[in-house]
Structure 1
């Protein structure tokens, strides 16, 4: 009941209850609020239980992302088999078999870590998913940087009297991969120790839905993990860009340059997309970014080599490599 101004107390208007409140009878003195996990029906005379919302395997969006993940993971396994079969050929040896295998393995783990983001956000998955994602992605990008440096050093070591031969080998590549990965791991450990992620129920973002999500604990640490990954990607892109014109028929620098450009573009656009979505769609944006950026690295770095190994074996010879390095056609 709303008292009419300037009239008798017995005169009143019947007005609709405000948002979030109901009245189960006419001419009530005031409206009652719904419980936090309920919302009013259209007539505002009854409370309805809110639905739980999270990115599940059963809904279309979750099923699409799972299918995409399985497809890319299967392609990675096939590529690993192909490179294992052709590991003694010049095109694989020229680009360091060990780093190639490490990169393929880390990309496979990148695809599989998407499963940590899909399904019920429990305590363990909330703790692990951003940490696992950040560390594995740092390993992948560090492998790309190691491959680029290997290309440059191999070209410089081929010159007569070069002192660069002593830098070639697995020791330098291993250092380039391990050192950034340890830094990212240290950032994640600090994150876990100071403000770890945890599951939460968001009652208020949507009026009719309870969003079950992971609270990242510290937005600063989350963006610090992303920022370090972007820094590695930027360094890899810059080094590959300057090495893209080296005279080597198996030079990966051009492929790395383009793949890292795609990688950086995806993760730069991730931030506004991540901040502009709510609930399960925020998680879907991150999973999509993980899959597309990893798929870009997989496709641009390895599919051209597979094409040569399978369909153009005449290009997969030591003569081709030596001729190109010496400046021949």
Structure 2
């Protein structure tokens, strides 16, 4: 919906026209389609297809949750804004953590001992996602049960305007949800950073490290700017942070894989995998 003020009328009067069809970007969906189409190739298999699908779907939801911040707020959208944001980003970050741990275990499985092999085959790292999400869901439930977000008015941010906005309700609960998400992101970054020097043939540990660095940097920057903003600028800042951090995760993790799948098909094969591995072993240290 494209809206603009009407000449000769009050500033609160807008003329809106629907957006043309196919104007909403579907690039997240495109990456998911690429991974589904090439699901049997080494580049997709090596990076755990199930976790890749989970991360792509959660990132799609992250992009879509920004739509909840657009338009006239009401009690339902105010509640959905915060709970949806907290949950979908928790799923995304916990999936990154699960992918990182899976990468580490995959390279450790050649070491003596069967315990690591059993953990990897059983898919135990995948349980990180529901466990982390359940903790965040509990925090959101406590928030909604005590002092949930509600619609409020702001008559001070802009002279001559009364802005209808969402009040966070309990700021303590809001920062608990945000703090938990930040802690989870920090753990994911730390694990990915420690695994960054693993062999890089179809290994995304370095990409995961950089993606979490971008994610953490974005939200560390967001907090002081968010607190110094008022009125519509606060909402715009929140939407920008959601879109930028989602794009950062999508670009850092999946663009290199899409490059190999689409532009380097010779490397995206078993033969290419062994050629790259063998050539690295022959390189002098």
Name the residue aligned to 1:328: 281
Name the residue aligned to 1:29: none
Deviations 1:275-318, CA, capped at 9 Å, x for gaps: 11111110010000000000000011001111101111111123
Give, in angstroms, the shift of residue 270 of structure 1.
0.5
Q: Give the distance between the partners of 1:228 and 1:286, measured in 2 at CA.
A: 17
Give, in angstroms, the shift of residue 238 of structure 1.
0.5
Give, in angstroms, the shift of residue 163 of structure 1.
3.2
Work out which of the residue numbers 253, 262, 285 in structure 1 matches 2:205: 253
Work out which of the residue numbers 122, 125, 136 in structure 2 matches 1:184: 136
Q: Tell me if 1:228 matches 2:180.
A: yes
SS in 1 for 2:155: strand
RMSD: 2.4
Give, in angstroms, the shift of residue 51 of structure 1.
5.8
SS in 1 for 2:281: coil
Q: Tell me if 1:213 matches 2:173.
A: no
Q: State TM-score, norm by structure 1.
A: 0.77
Give, in angstroms, the shift of residue 170 of structure 1.
5.8
1:1-329 equivalence runs, <5 A:
70-71=24-25, 74-169=26-121, 171-322=123-274, 328=281
Deviations 1:1-33, CA, capped at 9 Å, x for gaps: xxxxxxxxxxxxxxxxxxxxxxxxxxxxxxxxx
Assess, with a 3 A threshold, how the Cα gap between structure 1 residues 226 and 249 changes in structure 2: closer, same or farther: same
Decide whether the 8 Å contact of 1:146 with 1:177 is kept in 2. Answer: yes
Decide whether the 8 Å contact of 1:99 with 1:173 is kept in 2. Answer: no
Q: Give the distance between the partners of 2:155 and 2:223, measured in 1 at CA.
A: 24
Structure showing greater radius of gyration is 1
Give, in angstroms, the shift of residue 319 of structure 1.
4.0
SS in 1 for 2:152: strand
Give, in angstroms, the shift of residue 161 of structure 1.
4.5
Name the residue aligned to 1:47: none
SS in 1 for 2:223: helix
Assess, with a 3 A threshold, how the Cα gap between structure 1 residues 58 and 232 changes in structure 2: closer, same or farther: farther
Deviations 1:181-230, CA, capped at 9 Å, x for gaps: 10000000000000000001122333311011000101111111111111
Q: Give the distance between the partners of 1:174 and 1:86, measured in 2 at CA.
A: 22
Q: State TM-score, norm by structure 2.
A: 0.88
Q: Give the distance between the partners of 1:282 and 1:111, measured in 2 at CA.
A: 18
Q: Which runs of 5+ in 1 are unaligned?
A: 1-49
Give, in angstroms, the shift of residue 325 of structure 1.
6.1
Q: Give the distance between the partners of 1:148 and 1:115, measured in 2 at CA.
A: 30
Assess, with a 3 A threshold, how the Cα gap between structure 1 residues 186 and 270 changes in structure 2: closer, same or farther: same
Q: Give the distance between the partners of 1:319 and 1:242, measured in 2 at CA.
A: 29
Structure showing the higher helix proportion among its residues: 2
Q: Give the distance between the partners of 2:113 and 2:11, measured in 1 at CA.
A: 72
Q: Give the distance between the partners of 2:263 and 2:15, measured in 1 at CA.
A: 38
